[in-house]
Structure formats: structure tokens, C-alpha cells
Structure 1
Amino acid sequence: MTILQQLERYTEEVFDQAVSWRRYLHQYPELSFHEKRTSAWIEQRLEEMGCSVTRCQHNYGLIVTIKGDLAGPTIALRADMDALPIQDEKSVDYASNVPNVMHACGHDAHTSSLLAIAQFYVQRKHELKGERRLIFQPAEELAPGGAASMIAEGALSGVDVIYGVHLWTPLAYGKVATKSGNFMSAVDDFSVEIQGLGGHGGVPHHTIDAIVIGSQIVQSLQTVVSRNIDPISPAVVTIGTFQAGQANNVIAERCLLKGTIRTFDERSREIAQNKVEKTIQKLCELHGATYRYELKKGYPAVVNDQAEANRVLEVARTIVGDENTEEAAPIMIAEDFAFYLKEVPGCFMFVGAGSEAAGAVYAHHHPRFDLDERSMKLAIRMLVEAAEHYANQVQAQ
């Protein structure tokens, strides 16, 4: 039997173990850049399997290299391991034991799926074509993220192609979705602190009203996209926080705004960044206020290679059928998998994890988030079958 012929049976056999791994990780989540216990636990599982593990020096990332006995390409597969600062509100026996920290995005299941893949490959090195590089990455949720530093430490050294999965509850269990080109947006966050001149609400002519200035900034920023960005290039500028004032009869001297910029191409990204800052500068100058502006550049856009996206969709059709394989629409959320795709060809995909029966009906980052754990079986198959499809194609050339 070939590796692929063994895979479907293996995913059924390993499923209970993968669920056990996932539920353990769910009970003991750790925030971005603090995944010390998680990383050590993953490393122990990998060493028990007989894997050779390299620890990253600048974060808690782990790199596993599994070399096959047969010639072939080097293919990377990635999972993320960090959790979010959210209180778990689920009524399940595997709910988080850490106050105000939970796996609310499925990273525990991503890690468990990649552990199952590690076990699959290490047991079959004699029939493996080439090398499989398994990347257990910390800090996906918080910029600057963990991907860039892992790349700097050699995670992609010699890699020909990379694949990644996000288990996705808005997509029903049993479905797979991806697309070539722009898939997920770039993200940049900004904040501005406006300093005006406070005073009595009855004598506004002796003040510089920070709330009025902040309100004008919020309104004016709506034209950054509508009047500056090419309308066929999607972009979003959102103000998510507006903090000012303490009393009804006091004109506020200070206002704090925080927002986010989402774009798909570097030209639109640059325009939006510049126009946001220029709008803030001019309005503050107009009213005689000072300001402090900070731009925090985040992740670039996730841009899937066309050939690899087509490969993933082809593999999905063989596993879940045409009716459950979807060409995804671009989405304005960010992922630091983007950094890998800037270095080597690859594809990031959504595997459906939503299910009413499993209670997986809440959005990602919701305090009652959960997923249909059967989706891990499909994640395992999608990653391995995409990798082996690529390896077989290279061998045939």
C-alpha cells in the first residue's frame, strides 16, 4: 500500500488520540510569546514518536525534519499553538483551566492535527519521498507574530512548498475552501492621542475640544478608502476605540482613538497608511490641537500560489467531492502564514469545523467558541494528500 492508501485508515485510528491531545491543550492555553509549557509538551510528544526536534532560539517555536528514504522535494506543513486573552464560557469538561485565557481560534486542534501527521510520517520514513518540515509556530495572534522569526532561524531552508490549514467554524464540517491569489488581508493597527484644551462646557470658546476633533477624524477617515483607494482593490479603515471625557459639563482635553487598516495590495496599503496619518495631522492643526500618532505595521496579505491553490482544490474534490469544495471569497482577516508565502510557493486553506450538533456555532474569538473535532481528520488528510500530490508530481517530471 502507498502512503496515501494508508492515510484514510490512519486518520480513523489516530482520531481519539488527536482529540485527547486537543482537549489537553484546550485546558492549558498560553498567550502569544508565552507558550513555554505548550512548546515543552509538544516537544515531549514529538520525541516520544521518535522525531528530531529543533527549538527556536527567539521564540517557543519547534521545527521537525523527517527525512524519507526516497528522493524527493522538501515540503513544509505548519500549525500555530497560541491562545487568546478571553475567558472560556463553555460548559464542557475540557474548558480552559486558565482564567481569561482560552483557545478561541482552533490553534489547539491545528497543533494536534500536525502532531498526528508527524506520527504518520515518522512511522513511514522508508516509503517517504523527500523531506517533510513540520513547523509548530507560536504567536500567530499577536504582531509581529512568530512566523518571521522562525523563517529567520531556518524553518524554510531548502523548502520547495508549504501548506497550512485553518479549521474554520463559519464553514460547515466536511467542506474545504481556498482560492488562488489574495485570500486574507494585510493588517496594520494605529492609535492617535489628541491633546486639546479642556474647560467648562458653558465656555467652549476658551477650549480646544478633543471630542469634536476626534469625531471629525472618525468621519473624515471614511473617505480614505472611498476617495483614495482604487475601488476594485478592497480596503477597510475601521475605528474600534474612542475614549474621551469624564463629565457632562466638562469639555474633554484628551481623546484616544484606535483603529485598523486592512488591504490586499502593497500600493493600497501604503496609500491608506499615509492618508490616515495625514488626515489626523491636518484636522489637529486646524483646531490647534497636538497629537501623538503610532502605526503598528502587522502582517502582509496571504497570497496563495495559483498552482498550489489549484492543487489543494483538486485534492479536496477527491476527498470531499465537488459539492463540498469551494472557491473561497477574499476575507478581511489577517494571518502570519503570509510571511511563509512571501518566501516559497504554497497554499493556506479553510477546513470546515462548524456544526450545530457539536455545538460549534460560535464565531472565532468568541468566549463559547468550539469546533467539530472530526474536522481534524479532514485537516490531516488535506495536508498530507496535498504534500504527497506535490511529491508525486515532482517525481513524475
Structure 2
Amino acid sequence: MSLQEKLFEKLEAKASQMVETRRYLHENPELSFKEENTAKLIEDFYKDKDVKVTSNVGNGYGIIVEINGRGPGRTIGLRADFDALPIQEEADVPFKSKNDGVMHACGHDMHTSYLLTLGEALIELKDEWSGTVKLIHQHAEEVPPGGAKSIVESGILDDLDEVYGIHVFPMLDTGTIGLIEGNAMAGRSNFDLTIQGRGGHGAVPQSTRDALVAGAYFITEAQTIVSRRMNPMDSVVVSVTAFDAPGGYNVIQDKVVLRGTVRYLEEENKVPAYDAMSDIVAGIERSFGVECSLDYVYDYPVTYNHPKETRHVEEILEKSRGTYFNEIVHSKPSSGSEDFSYYLEKAPGTFINVGTKPEGVTEPYPNHHPKFDVNEESLMICAKALGEVVLDRLGSGK
């Protein structure tokens, strides 16, 4: 029996455990930077196993589990995030969230449960492979500055040769694995804009400096950042997502606050997008006689899947197509963002998409939706796919 067959046999024997863990995590979600109980569950899982566990890595509850094989070889990182979202769950499942207003609406419960199970199987077979596997159980993917950057900066991953991760998407059919070579997910920046005018009576606008009108102008003008300042062959998105301007019928507001996000698939557009917004804000100050404060934060970088490693992953998985999964597709880049990008800046690797469309559903709810749901059969697909990759990369040696 080959090592891959042994790994798959162990994973199949742990299938019910994997589902049970996922459902427990789904019932007990915790928000970013507050994942104390989730972290304890992960730590307890490895407590009596022959591994090195480092807790509280980075700026929160990050956990690195180091598995050493029988001899020297590559060091491979495998990452799964474990934070939830501030969403009230509406999915009709028997293991619905018990924490009011908190939900695993992005599949991080899936990520954690399959990596725990894969990690356990790799530990049980550690005398049959060489090298080191570092399991990266990451906190706070959903909330900037995220957990990945601080974990990388801690130095605990300085010896990585390669790094891999998976994200589940119900918009892809269960049994489908998606790969993207190169720029795969957008970099992002977030902004808050405060416009300070001079309020007054709605009947005498000439005595005011109307911050609300200035804000409305900003919303319109911000769209020209993409249409007139960016290369039309590039992918850039500017979205104003909030406009806080409460008031009565006869009151012109003294101050308004807007916020939003900027996404870009080419990292070189990060600074020009900010420069363009700064120019617009300066023009609004002059045009409307208001004072503007722009708080603009550069956030997660573009997720860049290294071409060589991505192609090699496809070669590995292609050998198993038609067994535990149906097809490999070349997915389109996404304007969503991911702090897995920081790991890919540290070491070559790729971020894999796994389809998890619920059975019998034509139009599934997307990630971050209150009715987000998955097909739990994709747990095994995730574990086997990443297991195949890591065994291949370890087996090749340095």
C-alpha cells in the first residue's frame, strides 16, 4: 500500500470525526481576536500527540503545530483560519450557531476541521515521510490587520519552503477544485472620510457649508478613480459602503462620515488609488469650503499564487481526478481579499478553491450570507487534496 493510500485510509476512518468537529465549531463560533475557546479546542486536540505546539502566536490566538518526520526534508506550511463573522445565522441546519449575532458564514469551521483531521493522520504516519509540516491554525482572518501578517512577522515560519491553503466556496459544485495561477484575490484598502462643514437651518442654506452635499459629490466623484485614473485593462473596485448623515427635516448637518473599500488585482495600483482619492478630497475641500479628514489604511496585499507551485499542484491532483473529486477548473481571479497573501509573500505556494455547493441547490448562498451553507462531503475532498500535495512535496526532499 502506498503512503497516499495509507493517508486516505486514515482520513476515511476519521470522516465522522471530521464532520462532528465541524458541526461543533459551527455551533460555537467566535469573532476575530476573541477566539479563546476555539483556540483551546485546537490546543487540546494536539495535547497528547507527538508534536510541538506553539500558542498565542502573533497578535492573537494563532497556533503553530510542528510535525517532524523521520528525517530532514522540506518544511511545508498548511494553513486554516478559525474566526467567524458578526452575522445572525438564518441557515436551516440542526447545528445552528448558539452565539447570537455570530456565525461561521465563510467556512472557517470547515477549514479548521479538515486540517485537524489531516494533521492527525500525518502525525500517525510521521515515521513514513521526511521533512517538517507546520500546521498554521490562524485567528482573525476577517478583521484587519488580520492574524497572518503578525504570524509571519513573529519569525516562526522563517524556515518554510512552501505554503498551501484551501478555501471552500458554495458557488462551485461539490467535487470541483479551482486553481488560479498568478494574481488570484484582490489586495484591499479601507477608508473613512469625515467631512466637517458648518451646519444650520435647512431654510437658509447660504449660511452653511453643507457637508452632506459634499459627501454626495464625493460618492459620485470617487467612481472616476476607476473610470478615469486606472488602466482599463486592470481590475480596480471603489465602493462607498456607508454614509452616516442623521438629521431632521430642517437641519443641515454639521458633519458627515463615509466609509468604504478599494480593491485591486495588481499591487502596483495600491498607491495610485489612494493618490487619486486624496486629490478628490482636496478638491471637495476647496469646492465646498469644508474640512476633510481621510483615514486610508492599506490592508491585505494581492494574493499571488506562484505559477510553478500552482502548476505542480494541478499535476498532482490531476492523477486523482475522477476518484474523490470530479474536475479541476481554472477559476477567475476574485475581487475578494485574503490575508493568506502574507504567507505567499513569505514562501512560494498556492491557495486552492474547493467547491462545496449543497446537494440539490441550484442557487447557493455565497460566503458571508446569513443563509450560507455547505456540502460536508467537501471536507474529505479538502483533506485528501491537501494531503496529496503535502506528501508529494515532502517526498521530493530538499
- Which residue number corresponds to residue 393 of structure 2? 390
Aligned to 1:334, what secondary structure does the other structure show?
Answer: coil
**Contact 2:170 2:355 survives alignment (8 Å):** yes
The corresponding residue for 1:238 is 239
Contact residue 200 and residue 249 of structure 1 kept, 8 A: yes
Q: Is the 8 A contact 1:360 1:369 kept in 2?
A: no
Cα drift, residue 70 of structure 1:
3.5
Q: Partner of 1:60 in structure 2?
A: 61
The one-character-per-residue Cα deviations of 1:286-310 (angstroms, maximum 9, x if unpaired) are 2110122111221001001001111
**Alpha-carbon shift at residue 245 of structure 1 (Å):** 3.9
Q: CA deviation at 1:68?
A: 0.7
Aligned to 1:353: 356
Q: Take 2:382 and 2:316, find their aligned partners in 1: how far apart are those partners?
A: 12
Q: Distance in 1 between matches of 2:314 and 2:270?
A: 29
Check if 1:46 corresponds to 2:33.
no
How big is the shift at 1:367? 1.1
The superposition leaves residues 241-264 of structure 1 with CA deviations (integer Å, 9 ceiling, x where unpaired) of: 112141233222222111101012
Q: CA deviation at 1:360?
A: 8.9
Secondary structure in 2 aligned to 1:104?
coil
Q: What is the CA-CA distance between 1:13 and the residue it aligns to?
A: 1.4
Q: Does the CA contact (< 8 Å) of 1:359 and 1:370 recur in 2?
A: no
CA distance in 2, matches of 1:341, 1:246: 47
Confirm or deny: 8 A CA contact 1:56 1:150 kept in the other structure.
Answer: no
Q: Choose from 379, 383, 389 the match for 2:382.
A: 379
Contact 2:30–2:102, Cα closer than 8 Å, also in 1: yes
Is the 2:56–2:63 Cα contact (8 Å) retained in structure 1?
A: yes
Task: Please tell me the residue identity of whatever aligns with 1:371.
Answer: V
Query: What residue number does 2:18 align with?
Result: 18
Greater alpha carbon shift after TM alignment, 245-254 vs 307-316: 245-254
- Whole-Å separation in 2 of the counterparts to 1:241 and 1:350: 30
Name the Cα RMSD after superposition. 1.7
Partner SS, residue 259 of structure 1:
strand
Task: Report the CA distance between 1:129 and its aligned residue.
Answer: 1.9
2:331 to 322, 328, 331: 328
Where in structure 2 are the equivalents of 1:213-252 lying within 5 Å? 213-252=214-253
Matches within 5 A, 1:199-278: 199-278=200-279
Say if 1:195 and 1:253, in contact at 8 Å, map to a contact too. yes
In structure 2, how many angstroms separate the alpha carbons of the residues matched to 1:215 and 1:385? 53
| Deviation, structure 1 residue 315 | 2.7
Q: Which amino acid is the alignment partner of residue 82 of structure 1?
A: D
- The 8 Å contact of residues 359 and 371 in structure 1, kept in 2 or not, is answered as no
Question: Is the alpha carbon distance of 1:268 and 1:325 closer, same or farther for their aligned partners in structure 2, counting shifts above 3 Å?
Answer: same
- Give distance in 1, aligned partners of 2:269 and 2:300: 14
Deviation at 1:359, TM superposition (A): 9.7
Matched to 1:120, the amino acid is A
TM-score (norm 1): 0.95
Equivalent-residue separation in structure 1 for 2:156 and 2:37 (angstroms): 21
Contact conserved, 1:312 with 1:382, CA < 8 A, in 2? no
Query: Would the aligned equivalents of 1:63 and 1:135 in 2 still touch at CA under 8 Å?
Result: yes
Partner of 2:83: 82
Residues 70-99 of structure 1, C-alpha deviation per residue, up to 9 Å, x if partnerless? Answer: 332111100001011111122322111111
Equivalent-residue separation in structure 2 for 1:72 and 1:50 (angstroms): 18
Identity %: 37
- Tell me the SS of whatever aligns to 1:348: strand
Deviation at 1:239?
A: 0.5
Q: Is the 8 A contact 2:187 2:300 kept in 1?
A: yes
**1:25-45: per-residue Cα shift (whole Å, max 9, x none)?**
111111111111110111101
How far the C-alpha of 1:323 sits from its partner, in A, is: 6.5
Cα distance in 1, alignment partners of residues 45 and 184 from structure 2: 33
> Quick one: which amino acid aligns to residue 16 of structure 1?
S
Question: Residue type matched to 1:10 in 2?
Answer: K
Tell me the equivalent position of 1:35. Answer: 35
Quote how far apart the aligned CAs of 1:268 are: 0.8
**Deviation string for 1:273-332 (max 9, x for gaps)?**
111122112112221101221112210010010011112222332233597211111110
| 2:9 pairs with 1:9 | yes
Q: Which runs of structure 2 are paired with 1:282-301 in the superposition (5 Å)?
A: 282-301=283-302
Superposition deviation, residue 358 in structure 1: 7.4
- Contact in 1 for aligned 2:237/2:264 (Cα 8 Å): yes
CA distance in 1, matches of 2:154, 2:386: 23
Contact 1:46 1:118 in 2 (8 A): no
Q: Secondary structure at the match of 2:231?
A: coil
Partner of 1:311: 312
Gaps spanning 5+ residues in structure 2: where? none
Q: TM-score, normalised by structure 2?
A: 0.95
Distance in 1 between the 2:107 and 2:48 partners? 24
Conserved? CA contact 1:174–1:320, under 8 Å: no
Distance 1:278 1:137, change over 3 A: same
Paired with 1:360 and 1:13, the residues of 2 have a C-alpha distance of 32
Task: Kindly report structure 1 stretches of 4+ aligned residues shifted beyond 6 Å.
Answer: none
8 Å Cα contact 2:197/2:255 also seen in 1: yes
Q: Which residue of 2 aligns with 1:144?
A: 145
Alignment of 1:116-195 (within 5 A): 116-195=117-196
Choose 370-379 or 50-59, whichever is displaced more: 50-59
In 1, are the aligned partners of 2:175 and 2:326 still within 8 Å (CA)? no
The 1:360/1:130 distance shift into structure 2, 3 A limit, reads: farther
> C-alpha distance in 2, partners of 1:173/1:266?
32
